[in-house]
Amino acid sequence: MALLTYRDALNAALREEMALDDRVFLMGEEVAEYDGAYKVSRGLLKEFGPLRVVDTPIAELGFAGIGVGAAMVGLRPVIEFMTWNFALLAIDQVVNSAAKMRYMSGGQVGCPIVFRGPGGAALQLAAQHSQSFESWYAHIPGLKVLTPGTPADAKGLLKSAIRDDDPVVFIEGEMLYNVKGEVPEGEHLVPIGKAEVKRAGSDVTLVCHSKTVTVALKAAEQLAEEGISAEVVDLRTIRPLDTETVLNSVGRTHRCVVVEEGWAFAGVGAQIVDVVQLHAFDELDAPVLRVTGADVPMPYNKHLERAAKADPAKVIAAVKRVLYTGI
């Protein structure tokens, strides 16, 4: 095992896949000369040259479209958005071109492309730069949506995404780039569409993804001090969704709390609740509860921002409600 930051794990995945397959190239704002806004592409320009690590103007719709066209003719582009908030300008290419190309061509034209960049809230970046869009893209047939929450999953899922023959939306946790974790050395692939139990437990299931994996694990640690055993299920992939792992966990614990950064209405957690009530209703000893971001644009004020985010205290309160100890 190697101890890597989330950032360096992503960098390693890009480097390995570009070395393995000369069809893979990286394109986006400041990915080359500046080594990426978050330094994920550090050293790649020097190693692979300007034809495979390509700086672009501030024109998300334009370079996303170039990527889609390149994928249609057999290349494997990795398109970096400086943040998924800026990708709103390119959403037509993601949703109406990349996601639909295989279907509209009757299977004749694929689109093996990865759209990647940071999502979710950071610190005091306010309303326009703190949004979680995974539920938006997960709504679209034809897209795969990945949200790694650890360095090991970041590396393994990005490598799998680059090798996948369909378009992948790869949303990195903006607050995770400096987080360190053990990453297997050598070839490391994480299967798309497979959740993972990050912590075993028996009293309640905490379903999470991306940055909320850390939130759920911290809550589980604090709950353990009170004698409450929480199982933490990291979705890792939002679409295709691994319902089996979630349902198996709920079948063991009989209680469920879903934790996510995004807004509650039509969010990822709503889909989890639907799956659980449809397939595991008789297993439940309490209603499924959700811990989400507040239903407001993200405030700039740091105290209000903290109040708007999902945190361990809110998760613990929800767990005690489903256990009927904190009503």
In a domain, 191, yes or no: no
Clarify whether residues 142 and 212 are in a common domain: no
40 with 134, same domain: the answer is yes
What dihedral do alpha carbons 103, 104, 109, 114 form, nearest 10°? -60
pLDDT band at 186 (very low <50, low <70, confident <90, very high): confident
Tell me the average pLDDT across 96-123: 97
What is the number of structural domains in the chain? 2
Are 122 and 213 part of one and the same domain? no
Exposed, middle or buried by CB within 10 Å (0-12, 13-18, 19+), for 80? buried
Tens digits of per-residue pLDDT, 278-316?
A: 999 999 999 999 999 999 999 999 999 999 999 999 999
Identify whether residues 88 and 156 lie together within a single domain: yes
Average pLDDT estimate for 62-84? 98
Phi/psi of residue 171, nearest 5 degrees: -105, 115
| Same domain, yes or no: 144 and 208 | no
**Could you tell me if residue 189 is inside a domain?**
no
Q: Clarify whether residues 217 and 116 are in a common domain.
A: no
Indicate the residue among 124, 156, 183 that finishes a domain.
Answer: 183
What is the per-residue pLDDT for 327? 60
CATH no. for residue 166?
3.40.50.970
- Residue-wise pLDDT for 191-220, tens only, equals 999 999 999 999 999 999 999 999 999 999
**Does the residue 318 lie in any domain?**
yes
Q: Categorize the per-residue pLDDT at 100 as very low, low, confident or very high, splitting at 50, 70 and 90.
A: very high
Beta bridge partners of 233: 197, 207
Residue 188 lies in a domain: no
Q: Would you state the pLDDT for residue 227?
A: 97
**DSSP state, 198?**
E
Is residue 279 one of the residues assigned to a domain? Answer: yes
> Does residue 119 have a pLDDT over 80?
yes
Residues in the chain: 327
With cut-offs at 50, 70 and 90, classify the pLDDT of residue 135.
very high
Express as a percent the part of the chain with pLDDT over 90.
Answer: 98
Which burial class, exposed, middle or buried, applies to 163 when counting CB atoms under 10 A from its CB (0-12, 13-18, 19+)? Answer: middle
Can you tell me whether residue 189 is helix, strand or coil?
coil
pLDDT at 267: 97
Query: Cα 180 to chain center, whole Å?
Result: 17
Per-residue pLDDT, averaged over 235-250, amounts to 98
CATH of the domain at 261: 3.40.50.920
What domain range includes position 103? 2-183
Global pTM reads: 0.97
Q: Which residue, of 130, 162, 183, is where some domain finishes? A: 183
Same structural domain for residues 127 and 249? no
Q: Give domain status of residue 230, yes or no.
A: yes
The pLDDT tens digits for 19-59 are 999 999 999 999 999 999 999 999 999 999 999 999 999 99
Q: How much of the chain exceeds pLDDT 70, in percent?
A: 99
For residues 77 and 222, membership in a common domain is answered with: no
Is 327 contained in some domain?
no
* Same structural domain, 208 and 89: no
- The verdict on 15 and 116 lying in the same domain is yes
Asked whether residue 175 carries a pLDDT value surpassing 80, the answer given is: yes
**200 with 178, same domain?**
no
Residue 223 within a domain: yes
Over 90: is that where the pLDDT of 66 sits? yes
Q: For residue 173, list its beta bridge partners.
A: 119
Domain-terminating residue out of 160, 183, 206: 183
What mean pLDDT value characterizes the chain? 97
Tell me the pLDDT tens digit for each residue of 139-171: 999 999 999 999 999 999 999 999 999 999 999
| Same domain? 142 vs 25 | yes
Tell me the catalytic residues: 60, 129
